[in-house]
C-alpha cells in the first residue's frame, strides 16, 4: 500500500462534513493518524463512540500539533476563532484548508490568524445534506462531487506543490477538483446554493405564517415542490446564518436580480402573458435536463436515500 498523502490529519470541527472527510480519507488510505478537535462535548462523545479518530480533544492546538494537514470544518463565522486556537500547535509547512461554504471571508480569517509558514488553501466541497453532527457523516459524500479550491495569489514552488497534494487528496476521496478565484466562487455559490436556501427558508416561513392555513394542512397537502423546500429549510440554522452574514455582498447582488425577475413573472401572470411563462418554463426544463446529464442531480449520486451514516460504518477505520 502507498504511503498516505498526509501522515497526520487534524480536523477542527467534526460534524457532517468533518466526519465525512475522515471516513472518506481513511477509506482511501489518504491519511495516517487522525486527530479531532471539537468544542461540543456531545459531538466529542459521538466521535469517540463512532471510532472516527485516533484522538479527540477540545484543545485545538493539541490536535493540530505536528499535523501535515489541518481541515477546518466549523461554521464559517467560527473559522477565525478556530484558526487562532490552532496557531500555537502548527508546524512549519503544514497545509491548511477548510470546507466553508463562503471563501473570501474565510481566507481573510485564516490568513489573519495563521503564521506565514503555513500553506493556506481554502476549499469548498459542493456536497452535503440537511443533516448535522458526526453521526450524519458518510464516506461516499464527496464521490463524483466538485471540490472548489481557491488558492491564495502566490505561485512559489512549495505553495504550488501543496496545492497539488491537496488536489490529489480530494481526488483520492472521489471528487473532481476545480481551482477558482474566491470572489467568483462566492458569486456563483450565492446563486446556485445560497439563494435557493434563502427562498426555501422564506417560502416555508410564509406558509407557516399564512392565516387560515394550519400547520396540519401545510403538512397534509404538501406536494413534491413544497416538500422539497421543507427539506432544504431544515438545514442547519447556525451554518446558514453564517453563510448569509459572510457572503452578504454576493447574496444581495443575486437577490436583487432575482427580485426583478420575480416582478416580471408576476406581471406576466397579471396580464395573462402565457407565452412568456411557457418560454421560461421550457428554458428551465432544459437546464434541469443539463444538470441530470452532468450527473449532479442529487446530493449524493447513488447514495442519496440509503447512504449509510457514520454510526453504521465506524468499522471503516480498520480498512
Q: Footprint of ligand NAP on this chain (CB under 6 A)? A: 12-13, 15-18, 37-40, 43, 60, 73-76, 78, 81-82, 99-101, 125, 128-129, 132-133, 236, 239, 243
Identity of the residue, 102 or 163, whose beta carbon is nearer to ligand NAP in the bound complex:
102
Cα 34 from chain centroid (whole Å): 20
Choice between 95 and 247, CB closer to ligand NAP = 247
Shortest approach of ligand NAP to residue 210 CB, angstroms? 28
Closest CB 209 distance from ligand NAP, rounded Å: 26
What is the nearest approach in angstroms of ligand NAP to the Cβ of residue 85?
6
Asked whether the beta carbons of 132 and 106 are under 8 A apart, the reply is no
Give 40 or 230: the residue with its C-beta nearer to ligand NAP.
Answer: 40
Cell (9 digits) for 239: 451554518
For residue 32, how many other CB atoms are within 10 A of its CB?
16
Nearer to ligand NAP, 131 or 159 (CB): 131
Q: Which is nearer to ligand NAP, 4 or 75 (CB)?
A: 75
103 Cβ partners below 8 Å, 6+ apart? 122, 124, 148, 150, 182, 185, 186
Least gap, CB of 55 to ligand NAP (angstroms): 14
Between 259 and 298, CB nearer to ligand NAP: 298
Nearer to ligand NAP, 5 or 78 (CB): 78
Q: At closest approach, how far in Å is the CB of 5 from ligand NAP?
A: 21
CA angle 131/132/134 to nearest 5° reads 120
| Shortest separation between residue 98's beta carbon and ligand NAP, angstroms | 7
**b/e sequence 177-201, b meaning 16+ C-beta within 10 Å:** beebebeebbbbbbbebbbebbbbb
Smallest distance, Å, CB 13 to ligand NAP?
3
Give the separation between CA 295 and CA 306, rounded to whole angstroms.
18
CB of residue 283 to ligand NAP, shortest distance in Å? 28
Q: At closest approach, how far in Å is the CB of 272 from ligand NAP?
A: 41
C-alpha–C-alpha distance, residues 56 and 59, integer Å: 9
Between 171 and 235, name the residue whose CB sits nearer to ligand NAP.
235
Q: Which is nearer to ligand NAP, 9 or 12 (CB)?
A: 12
**Pairwise CA distance, residues 142 & 174, whole Å:** 6
Amino acid at each position: 500500500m502507498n504511503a498516505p498523502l498526509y501522515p497526520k490529519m487534524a480536523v477542527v470541527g467534526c460534524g457532517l462534513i468533518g466526519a465525512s472527510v475522515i471516513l472518506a480519507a481513511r477509506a482511501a488510505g489518504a491519511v495516517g493518524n487522525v486527530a479531532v478537535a471539537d468544542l461540543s462535548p456531545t459531538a466529542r462523545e459521538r466521535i469517540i463512540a463512532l471510532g472516527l479518530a485516533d484522538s479527540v480533544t477540545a484543545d485545538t492546538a493539541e490536535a493540530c500539533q505536528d499535523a501535515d494537514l489541518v481541515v477546518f470544518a466549523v461554521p464559517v463565522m467560527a473559522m477565525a476563532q478556530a484558526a487562532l486556537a490552532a496557531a500555537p500547535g502548527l508546524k512549519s509547512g503544514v497545509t491548511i484548508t477548510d470546507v466553508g461554504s463562503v471563501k473570501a471571508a474565510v481566507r481573510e480569517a485564516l490568513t489573519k490568524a495563521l503564521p506565514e509558514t503555513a500553506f493556506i488553501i481554502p476549499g469548498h466541497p459542493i456536497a452535503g445534506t440537511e443533516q448535522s453532527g458526526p453521526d450524519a457523516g458518510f464516506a461516499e459524500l464527496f464521490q463524483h462531487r466538485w471540490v472548489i479550491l481557491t488558492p491564495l495569489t502566490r505561485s512559489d514552488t512549495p505553495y504550488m506543490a501543496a496545492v497539488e497534494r491537496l488536489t490529489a487528496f480530494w481526488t483520492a476521496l472521489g471528487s473532481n477538483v476545480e481551482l477558482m478565484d474566491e470572489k467568483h466562487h462566492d458569486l456563483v455559490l450565492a446563486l446556485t446554493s445560497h439563494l435557493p436556501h434563502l427562498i426555501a427558508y422564506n417560502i416555508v416561513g410564509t406558509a407557516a405564517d399564512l392565516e387560515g392555513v394550519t400547520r396540519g394542512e401545510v403538512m397534509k397537502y404538501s406536494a413534491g415542490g413544497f416538500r422539497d423546500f421543507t427539506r432544504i429549510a431544515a438545514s442547519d440554522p447556525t451554518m446558514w446564518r453564517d453563510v448569509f452574514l459572510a457572503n452578504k455582498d454576493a447574496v444581495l447582488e443575486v437577490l436583487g436580480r432575482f427580485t426583478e425577475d420575480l416582478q416580471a413573472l408576476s406581471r406576466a401572470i397579471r396580464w395573462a402573458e402565457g407565452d412568456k411563462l411557457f418560454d421560461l418554463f421550457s428554458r428551465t426544463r432544459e437546464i434541469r435536463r443539463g444538470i441530470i446529464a452532468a450527473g449532479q442531480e442529487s446530493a449524493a449520486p447513488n447514495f442519496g436515500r440509503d447512504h449509510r451514516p457514520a454510526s453504521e460504518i465506524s468499522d471503516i477505520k480498520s480498512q
